[in-house]
Amino acid sequence: MGDIPFTVDLEEKAEQAGPDKAHAGTGSEAGAAVETPGKPGLSLPEAPEVWSVTRLTRQVRALLEEALPAVSVEGEISNFRAAASGHLYFNLKDDGAQIRCIMFRGAAQSLRFEPEDGMQTMVRGRITVYEVRGEYQLQVLTLEPKGVGALQVAFEQLKRKLEADGLFDLERKRELPLLPRRIGVVTSPTGAAIRDILHVLGRRFPSLPVLIHPATVQGEQAAAEIVRGIETLNRLADEQEIDVIIVGRGGGSIEDLWAFNEEPVARAIFASRVPIVSAVGHEVDFTIADFVADVRAPTPSAAAELVVPNRADLRATVRSYRRRLFQRLGGDLRLALERWTGLRARLGSPARLIEQSAQRVDDLSARLGEAGGRRVTHAGQALHQAREALAAYRPDRQNRLHRAVVRSLQGQLEPALRGYLRRQREHLEADMELLQSLSPLTVLDRGYGLALDADGRPVRSIADTRVGAEVTVRLRDGRLKTDVRAIEGEQGQPSPWQGSEDDQD
């Protein structure tokens, strides 16, 4: 860009020096200096005027805005933030640097898409300085995606949003009626689309009524008018018997068709109580309205063919059904007649049937009387047998029998108990004698003793004690406390555990 001229007019003030001091000259010479007293030849640059931070910042801002009135910059968006005021704040960066950017609400309202982090963009604006922070920034006036048109980006963003909200779900899409009572159309009343729709409807089903709600299908007001048309036809649906609505227009560029990519139009189609057919553009054109509508038609003419059947084809189908119905009814009537004839032949004369029935009634009456008599006889015999069985089980008789059994058992119980106790006593005495014979105390009664060490353990061998150890000897009638003075083996020889003579003493 070259060097930016930086010119500042400074008002220099001459300072009156004393008689022994030199004074600084006035003027615009860049090399003016003041001699320092006592140091000949040493000079200092003249002190500049002191500026405030605000003045300096405003001067820098004026220089930048004058030197760079408009710039175009490309880079990647980062740290994007949309403020409640409508202003957009973000950084624009590349591999080597970044710059703060602001896009005020007036300029941001013209965007057809929403900027987002990571988006490669081309912006145009001017360099300015935010004086509060002393930072330079780029005030963005226009913003375009790099490599892809803004409308295409807006289309994809809105499509993702509405798909996440469930507006494209196949489960909510409704089938079109077979033969609508009235068709509603939202389109331009002067466009080719309405002419194509009416032509096809007149050819396929001339007497079918059509209610047209005119709407602008291109331009800034188009989306609002399309929404108003859909809402109006829904309000009139019950009164006017509207069973289906066609919303569309002829072909064009993406800018021409953009009204059908607006979110309000998509929301209105989604909220419609009446099934909607979207017929926008040509066969290759797709809009957001196509994804939300219950049925998408490639052209307005195709939409008219979808909503109504061909009357000639419908009549042929009705005639075919009527013919098949008559054939089926004729077959059913012939079969019913044949069955009636057969039943009539089997039925015969009514009088003879009555006579036979009367005779059968008499026969059944006689058999009923005989069977009743037999039943009464059998019942009497069963009653007699029951009385005899009941007498055998009288309570007083059973009571006497049970008392006799109890007395007999009591007589047997006492001898049995005495015998059992005697046998148990004999077993107990035998066990006591055996226990007495095995008791160590019985051995002590025969003159033996039981030697115990200081811990109360039996001394079974000379190896279990030592000379000088305390030994308790338990006898039959008490205990002896002794000390081991000497230990001899079985042959009378001193034990290896025997201590010395001094220990014995």
- Look up residue 28 and give its two tokens: 């615009």
Decide which of 338 and 498 is more confident.
338
- Mean per-residue pLDDT for 343-371? 77
pLDDT at 198: 92
Which candidate, 22, 16, 45, places its Cα nearest to that of 35?
A: 22
pLDDT at 227: 94
Range 162-313 classified under CATH 2.30.30.180: no
Under the banding of pLDDT at 50, 70 and 90, the label for residue 402 is confident
- Say yes or no to pLDDT of 396 above 80: no
- Residue 44 φ then ψ, to 5°: -115, 150
Per the CB < 8 A criterion, the answer to whether 222 and 282 are in contact is: no
pLDDT at 215: 93
pLDDT at 228: 94
Is the whole-model pTM more than 0.75?
A: no
pLDDT in tens, 215-272: 998 888 899 999 999 999 999 999 999 999 999 998 877 778 888 988 899 999 999 9
Per the CB < 8 A criterion, the answer to whether 259 and 218 are in contact is: yes
Q: In what order do the strands lie in the sheet with 470-475?
A: 450-452, 470-475, 478-483
pLDDT at 435: 82
d(CA 87, CA 102): 7
- Range among 52-66, 157-171, 339-353 rated most confident: 157-171
pLDDT in tens, 74-105: 888 888 888 888 889 998 888 888 889 989 98
Under the banding of pLDDT at 50, 70 and 90, the label for residue 181 is very high
- Say yes or no to pLDDT of 6 above 50: no
pLDDT at 238: 92
Q: Are strands 88-93 and 98-103 parallel, antiparallel or unpaired?
A: antiparallel
- Look up residue 497 and give its two tokens: 């555990």
CATH code for the structural domain at 53-147: 2.40.50.140
pLDDT at 357: 80
Q: Which long-range contacts (CB under 8 A, 24 or more apart) does 12-19 make?
A: 12/46, 12/49
- Say yes or no to pLDDT of 40 above 70: no
Q: Is 162-313 the same fold as 53-147? A: no
Q: What is the mean pLDDT of the chain?
A: 79
pLDDT in tens, 148-166: 566 677 777 778 888 888 8
Query: What is the percent of the chain where pLDDT is above 70?
Result: 85
Strand blocks (E) in 226-294: 244-249, 276-280
Per the CB < 8 A criterion, the answer to whether 294 and 247 are in contact is: no
Under the banding of pLDDT at 50, 70 and 90, the label for residue 18 is very low
- Say yes or no to pLDDT of 280 above 80: yes
Under the banding of pLDDT at 50, 70 and 90, the label for residue 29 is very low
What count of Cα atoms within 13 Å lies in the side-chain half-sphere of residue 408? 6
pLDDT at 128: 86
- Say yes or no to pLDDT of 32 above 60: no
- Say yes or no to pLDDT of 214 above 80: yes
- Residue 71 φ then ψ, to 5°: -140, 155
- Say yes or no to pLDDT of 22 above 70: no
pLDDT at 314: 81
pLDDT at 39: 45
Per the CB < 8 A criterion, the answer to whether 79 and 102 are in contact is: no
pLDDT at 107: 85
d(CA 297, CA 280): 8
Under the banding of pLDDT at 50, 70 and 90, the label for residue 36 is very low
- Say yes or no to pLDDT of 295 above 70: yes
What is the domain partition of the chain in residue ranges?
Answer: 53-147, 162-313, 444-504
pLDDT at 148: 55
pLDDT at 145: 77
- DSSP per-residue string spanning 150-194: HHHHHHHHHHHHHHHTTTT-GGGPPPPPSS-S-EEEEE-TTSHHH
pLDDT at 410: 81
Burial class (CB in 10 A: 0-12, 13-18, 19+), 262: buried
- Say yes or no to pLDDT of 444 above 80: no
- Look up residue 44 and give its two tokens: 């200092």
